[in-house]
Amino acid sequence: MADPKGENKKKLVEGVQSAVPVNDTQILVTRLTGTGDKLQLKFLEIADGVITRQNVLDEQQNGSTRPGISALAVSLDKTAVAYTKINFTAPTFTLFGFEFHPEELWLADLNFSGPAARKLVNNSKDFIEDLHWSTDGNRLAFIHTFHASTGAGYATEIWSVDKDGTHLAYLTGPDEGTYQGENFRAAPATNLLWVGPTELSFQSYDQVHFPLWIHDLTLGKDQARPLSLNADSRSYHYCEAVRRYAFIKRGPKYDSPYEGLFTVSVDEPGEGPAPGQLFDGGAKAVFDCKGDNLLYLDGKGQIIMAKLNKDGSVGTKVKIGNYQYSLAADSFAANYGSASIAPDGGAVLVLPPTTNSDKTLTIFRLDGSNISLQDANFPLAGETADWYDAKRLVLSSPKQGGYLFVLVNISTSPGTITLLDSALQKVVLITQN
């Protein structure tokens, strides 16, 4: 932990395998015990850089090839955590020449009075991955797969269960039906996202297509409905305020040319593939969407902030900065860098692609003007940048032999830059406070 000035750095926990924030003062960690043979799920409360309360919610023998406890997912009301746990009593199966035990789905209450872990889903055959709470907090969606981390080409099934362990149900996958003369499979399914209490969207990848699907639990059907049959795999962004996905559409094959930026409503009527609506025919990449603010790269190499209307039409458009990206050929793995919108929608940060001569992070107002930053005696060219809150962001920037961890504050003029830490390994922000 470090304060926003980069001072008072303190080590909180050793042996950490993963960490997930619960709220401003509480964190969940999985950590190895002193002997390293067991993995604990610990609930920590922190004040002034000191752990004030803690509780071991669960403990499991650690796996030799996968963590004994993993895939932490905190409930929306912050009262419970769902996670996977190795079932050492079940027979093993072979993957990549290694023997694996299957995983089961568990739930623990977030309290400091005692452990209350309980099993939600028995499992004696495969892995459970990618846990997601529904928007009403009543159920969990998850993936069954025989492949670690749902690798390409491996079939996946999507299931759900209520938070009390009832109504366990197979939803969809791996076979998703035939459209336009081609078969589609969730091999794997990725990026599950609840867009309503009973509406689950997800992407799939079968090494040929990158479809986007919507599955409505109330319809009682095994197959999901395609919202988009082909797109750039990295381009799908959900615009919550208008209930639309934005994406870069391709032709029928993965190496087809781009057809531009399209959007589609998750409430699109009908049962077959949704037609989608053209938003910008020359666009090359979608960076972010917050509310109805859509951030993308147009065909001229210019970053654009646009308003997306609920009917899919275009509202206002603003150029962000004066970037003219050196666009690569229309290739599947084009590098367009990254850009994102502040949590309140009030600013935009840009990390240019590594192919650009200028690789420095810059920040802009929504009218496209640049926010000036004080001079720093270290580079602001980063690999990753994440908004800390509406006015501050953190940057992980490579340096010789390690990484710099930098805080940029735009609440002042010019914005201030503070070195938080200089580490030998990459630094990952766990929680903001």
Name the band, by pLDDT with cuts 50, 70 and 90, for residue 430: low
Tell me what pLDDT residue 384 has. Answer: 78
Would you kindly state where each structural domain of the chain is located, as residue ranges?
16-327
* CATH classification number, 16-327, choose in 1.10.357.10, 2.140.10.30, 3.50.7.10, 2.20.25.10: 2.140.10.30
Angstrom distance (rounded) from CA 34 to CA 96: 30
Which residue from 74, 99, 85, 87 is spatially nearest to 23, judged by alpha carbons? 74
Say what the pLDDT of residue 252 is: 65
Q: Are 336 and 297 in contact (CB under 8 A)?
A: yes
CA distance 131 to 140: 7
Q: Which of 83, 158, 159, 76 is nearest to 119 (CA)?
A: 83
User: How long, in residues, is the chain?
Assistant: 433
Q: How far is Cα 37 from Cα 53, in angstroms, rounded to an integer?
A: 24
User: Whole-structure pTM over 0.75, yes or no?
Assistant: yes
Candidate from 189-193, 253-257, 278-282, 419-423 with smallest mean pLDDT: 253-257
pLDDT band with cut points at 50, 70 and 90 for residue 68: very high
Higher-confidence position of 330 and 124:
124
Q: Is the pLDDT of residue 327 over 60?
A: no
Q: For residue range 17-52, what is the model confidence (pLDDT) as tens digits?
A: 999 999 989 999 999 998 878 999 999 999 888 899
Q: Terminal CA-to-CA distance of the chain, rounded, Å?
A: 9
Helix H or strand E encompassing 61: strand 50-61
Mean pLDDT, residues 141-151: 83
385-395 residue pLDDT tens: 889 889 999 88
* 53 vs 47: CA distance, rounded Å: 9
Comparing 145-149, 172-176, 327-331, 374-378, the range with the smallest average pLDDT is 327-331
Q: What is the pLDDT of residues 163-213, one digit of tens each?
A: 999 999 999 989 998 998 888 888 899 999 999 999 999 999 877 788 999
DSSP codes joined into one string, 225-272: EEEES-B-TT--EEEGGGTEEEEEEE-SSTTSPEEEEEEEETT--SSS
Amino acid at 390: A
Residues 293, 276: Cα–Cα separation, whole Å = 18
Q: Which pair of structure tokens corresponds to residue 136? A: 């009403």
Which of 98-102, 250-254, 428-432 has the highest mean predicted lDDT (pLDDT)? Answer: 98-102
Residue appearing with tokens 């969207």? 201
